[in-house]
Structure 1
Amino acid sequence: MTEQHPTQAMAEVESATPAPAVTRRWGLAAMAAAAAAAGAGVAWWRLQPGEADLTGFWGLSFPTPDGTTLTMASLRGKPLLVNFWATWCPPCIEELPLLSRFYEANWASGWQLVGLAVDQPDPVKRFLDRTPVAFPVAMAGLAGVDLSKQLGNDAGGLPFTVVFDAEGTLRHRKIGQVHEADLKAWRG
């Protein structure tokens, strides 16, 4: 057995065990990865169809631009697409003609569609006078942001669309502009 110089023995011990800073960095990285995975899991769960708390949703009512009232209960029992939009939202405005065509093509087979404007009444009235849509529009105002969050739109962004089946179960959610492929998939 050869004798080692004390500094040589110390160097071997230090190289065999990671430095505290390296260990700490790995520990922090592992914690960050676990937190990210947990956050992704929560986001995935919240976006699963049928998981939103719909307590009270079907009891809501909203004023319409023409002065009547639209009750959500009156729309229960058939498939329902609800689109949250605003006049100041370019992708919202861009998708409205597509939604209007979808409604016209599918209302006879039981599909319903309502646009909930997260906006002020005057701009919505002016917009609808210039660009009418075939489906009912109601005024959700700023409360529409909270409602969309309850339905799974955590960021409150627009446009936001949800689809309910005839039993009132939330089946689909989409944050962002709706396209023809979305409507075909939802229609089944």
Structure 2
Amino acid sequence: MQIPENSVAVAPSAQRRRVLWGAVAGVAAVAGAGLSWRQQAASSVMEPVPGFWAQQWQTPQDTNLAMQQFQGRPVLINFWATWCPPCVDELPLLDRFHTEQGPKGVQVLGLAIDRKEAVVPFLQRVPLQFPVALAGLSGTELGRALGNVTGGLPFSVLVASDGAVAQRKMGRVHAEDLVAWAAVK
């Protein structure tokens, strides 16, 4: 092997070390950026949502549901749709949570990102004890304000009694989530 005059020969093991150190540095940079983002996201978890208690929606029974009626206590809001299998799967769990935690002051509210024509027959087949409102596609705007930047479903958010976002979860909630959330005041 002939080496050009103006280049420096690097032993294969030294070259491997450089590649390895470069990879380690890259992983460290990505991890640092991720940690920074996570800390920033965690610090924004407790920011109040402007106008939250002024929200109101129509229910499947053609009445109005105003958030103001829940002010002063924790509210677990679940954004769901009849066409979303994980949403439908978690509703019985949320209903049990409502039955158990409602007397202790925690309110569960289902906001259907769906049409009334789909929600009414669904609720006849799967009755829920907690209130359900028809947020439709405009409900996605509230979801975004509460931290659902992708607009995916299901999305759940626990708003503390002071109106601050205490917990949020993209995807299906599990019993472990609800046990932890029951302690929020």
TM-score, length basis structure 1: 0.79
Structure 1 residues not aligned, in runs of 5+ = 1-6, 17-21
Aligned counterpart in structure 1 of residue 146 of structure 2, from 148, 151, 160: 151
Question: Displaced runs of 4+ in structure 1, greater than 6 A?
Answer: none
Q: Does the CA contact (< 8 Å) of 1:49 and 1:173 recur in 2?
A: no
Q: Does the CA contact (< 8 Å) of 1:46 and 1:52 recur in 2?
A: no
TM-fit CA distance, 1:37: 4.9
Q: Percent identity?
A: 43
Cα distance in 1 for partners of 2:171, 2:155 equals 6
> Aligned with 1:104: secondary structure?
helix
TM-fit CA distance, 1:41: 3.2
Residue 169 of structure 2 corresponds to residue 174 of structure 1: yes
Cα distance in 2 for partners of 1:119, 1:47 equals 30
Structure 2 residues not aligned, in runs of 5+ = 11-17
Q: How does 1:1-188 map to 2 (within 5 A)?
A: 10-11=5-6, 13-15=7-9, 37-38=32-33, 41-42=36-37, 44-48=39-43, 50-52=45-47, 54-188=49-183
Deviation digits for residues 108-143 of structure 1 (CA, Å, limit 9, x no counterpart):
111101000011111011100111100000011111
CA distance 1:143–1:52, shift in 2 (3 Å): farther
Count of residue pairs brought into register by the alignment: 174
> Aligned with 2:128: secondary structure?
coil
Q: Does the CA contact (< 8 Å) of 1:159 and 1:176 recur in 2?
A: yes
What do you get for the CA RMSD once the two structures are aligned?
Answer: 3.0
Q: Which has the larger radius of gyration?
A: 1
CA distance 1:180–1:160, shift in 2 (3 Å): same
